[in-house]
Homo-oligomer: A and B are copies of this chain.
Amino acid sequence: MNQPVKIKRALISVSDKSGLDSLAKALHHQGCEIISTGGTQKVIEENQIPVTDINRVTGNPEAFGGRMKTISFQIESALLFDRDTDKKEADALGIQPIDLVVCNLYPFERVKNRGADFETLIENIDIGGPTMIRAAAKNFKYVTVVTDPRDYEELIDVLQKNDGQVPYEFRFKAMRKAYNLTADYDSMIASTMDETAGAQSMRMAYGEARTLRYGENSHQNGLFLRKQGAVDALYDLQALHGKELSFNNIVDIYSALDSVRDLQNHGCAIIKHNNPCGLAAGDNQRTVFERAWAGDPVSAFGSVIAFNRTVELDTARFLQLDNEDKMQRKFVEVVVAPDFNEDAKQYLFRHTNLRVVKFDPDNLQQEWDIKFFAGSLLVQNADRQLYDKKEWVTDSEGSIDEDLLTFGLIAARQLKSNAIAVVRRTEEGILQLLGMGCGQPNRVNSTELALRRCHDNLKMEFEGDRQALLEYVKTEVNNAVLISDAFFPFPDNIELAAKFDIKTIVQPGGSIRDKAVIQRCNELGIQMMFTGIRHFKH
Q: What residues make up the interface of A, taking CB atoms closer than 8 Å to B?
A: 58, 60-61, 63-65, 67-68, 71-73, 76-77, 80-82, 85-86, 89-90, 93, 122, 125, 127, 130-131, 134-135, 137-138, 141, 172-173, 175-176, 179-180, 182-183, 186-187, 189-190, 193-194, 197, 199-209, 211, 214-228, 230-236, 247-248, 250-251, 254, 272-275, 277, 296, 298-299, 303, 363-366, 368-383, 385, 388, 416-418, 438-442, 445, 449, 533-538
- Distance to closest chain B CB from A134 (angstroms): 6
A33 to chain B, nearest CB (A): 22
A63 to B157, CA, bound (A): 35
- What CA separation (Å) do A445 and B442 show in the bound complex? 15
Output the least CB separation between A382 and chain B (Å).
8
Q: Looking across the interface, which residue of chain B has its beta carbon closest to that of A79?
A: B127
CA distance A135 to B67 in the complex (A): 10
In the assembly, what is the distance between CA of A380 and CA of B218, in Å? 11
CB neighbours (8 Å) of A230 from chain B are: 374-376
Cβ of B73 and Cβ of A441 under 8 Å apart?
A: no
Counting chain B CB atoms within 10 Å of each CB, the highest count among A72, A85, A130, A374 belongs to A374
- Separation in Å of the A8 CB from the closest CB of chain B? 19
| SS of A interface (majority) | mixed
13 A-B Cβ contacts within 8 A? A63-B93, A127-B131, A134-B186, A202-B205, A216-B369, A216-B383, A217-B533, A221-B380, A225-B379, A248-B536, A299-B442, A365-B374, A366-B375
With A73-B68, A127-B76, A179-B189 given, is the CB distance from A209 to B199 under 8 Å?
A: yes
A223 proximity list for chain B (CB < 8 A): 200, 377-380
Bound CA span A536–B382, Å? 25
Within 8 Å by CB of A369, from B176, B254, B372, lies: B372
Q: A186-B182, A209-B201, A217-B534 are in contact. Are A380 and B273 (CB under 8 A)?
A: no
> Do B73 and A538 have beta carbons less than 8 Å apart?
no
**A369 CA to B219 CA in the complex, in Å?**
13
Counting chain B CB atoms within 10 Å of each CB, which of A64, A82, A226 scores highest? A64
**Chain B residue at minimal CB-CB distance from A59:** B73
Q: Is the CB of A204 within 8 A of B201?
A: no
* Cα A449 to Cα B446 with chains together (Å): 11
Given A64-B86, A127-B76, A216-B536: A377 touches B206 (CB 8 Å cut-off) = yes
Known contacts: A206-B202, A207-B201, A416-B416. The answer to whether A378 contacts B67 by CB under 8 A is no
CB closest residue in chain B, given A131: B131
B439 and A439 within 8 A (CB)? yes
Q: Are A376 and B233 in contact (CB under 8 A)?
A: yes
Q: What is the minimal beta-carbon distance from A208 to any residue of chain B, in angstroms? A: 7
Interface pair A371/B71, CB less than 8 Å apart: no
Chain B residues within 8 Å of A190, by CB: 176, 179-180, 182-183, 205
* Residue in B217, B219, B224 whose beta carbon sits within 8 Å of that of A377 in the complex: B224
With most chain B CB atoms within 10 A of its CB, the pick from A137, A220, A277 is: A220
Report yes or no: B371 in contact with A365, Cβ–Cβ below 8 A. Answer: no
* Cβ–Cβ contact A175 & B193, under 8 A: yes
Complex contact B439–A440 (CB within 8 A)? yes
Query: How far is A81 from B190 in the complex, measured between Cα atoms in Å?
Result: 22
Q: Closest Cβ of chain B: how far from A262's Cβ, in Å?
A: 14
Do B220 and A193 have beta carbons less than 8 Å apart?
Answer: no
Q: A235 — which chain B residues lie within 8 A by C-beta? A: 375-376
CB distance from A221 to the nearest CB of B (A): 5
Cβ contacts under 8 Å, A372 to chain B? 368-372
B364 pairs with A374, CB closer than 8 A? yes
Contact A277 B203 (CB under 8 A): no
Per the bound structure, the CA–CA distance linking A65 and B82 in Å amounts to 9
- Pair B445/A449 contact, Cβ less than 8 Å: yes
A203: contacting residue among B173, B206, B214, B233, CB under 8 A:
B206
- Measured between beta carbons, the chain B residues less than 8 angstroms from A76 are 68, 71, 127
Q: Are A441 and B183 in contact (CB under 8 A)?
A: no
CA of A303 to CA of B388, assembled, Å? 28
CB-defined contacts of A127 to chain B, threshold 8 Å: 76, 80, 131, 134-135, 138
Q: Which residues in B have their C-beta under 8 angstroms from that of A218?
A: 534
From B73, B89, B224, A58 is in contact (CB under 8 Å) with B73
Q: Is the CB of B64 within 8 A of A89?
A: yes
Q: Is the CB of B380 within 8 A of A375?
A: no
**Bound-complex Cα distance A273 to B226 (A):** 30
Assembly CA distance A219 to B389 (angstroms): 13
CB-based contact A231/B375 at 8 Å = yes
Q: Which residues of B contact A64 (CB under 8 A)?
A: 77, 80-82, 86, 89-90
4 tightest CB-CB pairs across the interface, nearest first? A439-B439, A233-B375, A215-B380, A230-B375
Q: A204-B205, A298-B442 are in contact. List 13 more A-B contacts (CB 8 A).
A: A180-B190, A199-B209, A202-B204, A219-B533, A222-B378, A224-B378, A235-B376, A251-B371, A273-B536, A273-B538, A366-B373, A366-B374, A438-B439
